[in-house]
Amino acid sequence: MKRVGFLFIAGIMAVCLASAAVAAEKVIVYTSLETDETVQYLEAARRDMPDLEINIIRLSTGELGARMLAEKDNPQADVVWGWAVTGMEENIPNGLFVPYKPKGVNKLEKRFVHPKYMYVGIDMYIAAFCVNTKVLQEKGLPMPKGWNDLLDPKFKGLVAMPNPVASGTGFLQISSILQMYGAKEGKEDGWEFLKKLDKNIGQYIKSGSKPAKMTAAGEFAVGASFDFVVAEQKKQGFPVEFVFPAEGAGYEVEANALMKGAKNLKAAKRFLDWAISENAMKEYAKFKYGVTLPGIPTRPDLPKLSSIKLYPMDFAWQAKNSADIKKKWETLFTR
């Protein structure tokens, strides 16, 4: 009996230890991906890795950057997932990340991968106006074709835009405008343009998606936002249309990185491997204009990429000047 009892107890202990080992396999992930897309991506991740506990904390681009800097000496996350490359470039010198070469990275387009594997790009999103055609008709407003059209006094108070300090979408919008007007050559014309635009802004919002959603609901005529959010509003039946700025649409690449001091290193690397897998890329492509793994088809309800004039964004310049741009914007436009 004693021997049987001992074996029974030993068996229970083995089961408990095995369960503890499984439970210990977890990863803490920071992200700025939109909530609706993150939910869908996580369903796929949990199907592919059912034994991995994935804990997600979602913040806007600027808020996430501030949090990671504040936690630099005691990081609370293992991975950052789907964060703007501009933010990555800005914070590599701050020592937030360490290199990691995830499995399958050689299949990705090289231009989206940091040369020392400090980050790996997964997708891109493009600045777009969400235009409420019903509001335009009610107010007798013309269909805007670009940023310059939004200077028309008829749009006063009827334009919503993301706050670039908090929103990556907002930052790519103003940085594209600044670059268009020669900021890289030291010109101030872009700031003068933004001052004129500010006269018509009804609200600056700490989110890249809310300007589109509020515009779709009829609160504004135009919401400066980004591509797939506008597509979602249109899909849901709201009276909205895409407008990509005729002057050139700014865009951003979203990327992943391994946090320096990650406490769950093995699980973090496993998650990063999955996050560039074909299964993951197929999920991203359901929302995004393009992914970094060649051969993955994009969603059919978005305008063809070839029909959009993209502004050639300089991510290195944006990263280098990010703090100064945001500080000046706050000084000029914080209400």
Is 312 in contact with 249 (CB distance < 8 Å)?
no
- Do both 120 and 160 map to the same domain? no
Above 80 in pLDDT, residue 114?
yes
- Do both 113 and 141 map to the same domain? no
276-297 exposure pattern, b = at least 16 Cβ within 10 A, e = fewer: bbeebbebbbebbbbbbbeebe
- Which CATH number is 266's domain given? 3.40.190.10
Helix (H) or strand (E) holding 29: strand 26-31
Residue 112 phi, psi dihedral angles, 5° rounding: -100, 5
Report pLDDT for 101: 98
- Do both 152 and 196 map to the same domain? yes
Report pLDDT for 290: 87
Residue bearing tokens 């779709």: 216
- Do both 311 and 162 map to the same domain? yes
- Do both 319 and 262 map to the same domain? no
Residue 241 resides in a domain: yes
- Do both 186 and 81 map to the same domain? no
- For range 209-214, the mean pLDDT: 97
How far apart are alpha carbons 51 and 26 in whole angstroms? Answer: 9
Residue 135 resides in a domain: yes
- Do both 137 and 241 map to the same domain? yes
Above 80 in pLDDT, residue 110?
yes
- For range 208-219, the mean pLDDT: 97
Residue 7 resides in a domain: no
Compute the mean pLDDT over every residue in the chain, rounded to the nearest whole number.
91
Above 60 in pLDDT, residue 140?
yes
Residue 156 resides in a domain: yes
Residue bearing tokens 């990509």: 244
Residue 11 resides in a domain: no
Residue 70 resides in a domain: yes
pLDDT band (50, 70, 90) for residue 21: very low
- Do both 59 and 111 map to the same domain? yes
- Do both 232 and 296 map to the same domain? no
Report pLDDT for 6: 40
- Percent of the chain having pLDDT more than 70? 93
Report pLDDT for 111: 87
Above 90 in pLDDT, residue 241?
yes
- Do both 259 and 323 map to the same domain? no
Residue 12 resides in a domain: no
Helix (H) or strand (E) holding 326: helix 315-333
- For range 18-38, the mean pLDDT: 78
Report pLDDT for 258: 98
- Do both 188 and 282 map to the same domain? no
Number of independent structural domains in the chain: 2
Residue 13 resides in a domain: no
Report pLDDT for 14: 44
- 14-18, 39-43, 223-227: least confident range: 14-18
Above 60 in pLDDT, residue 12?
no
- For range 39-63, the mean pLDDT: 96
Q: Which domain holds residue 206?
A: 126-251+306-333
Above 90 in pLDDT, residue 333?
yes
- For range 297-312, the mean pLDDT: 86
- Do both 318 and 179 map to the same domain? yes
- 17-26, 88-97, 268-277, 303-312: least confident range: 17-26
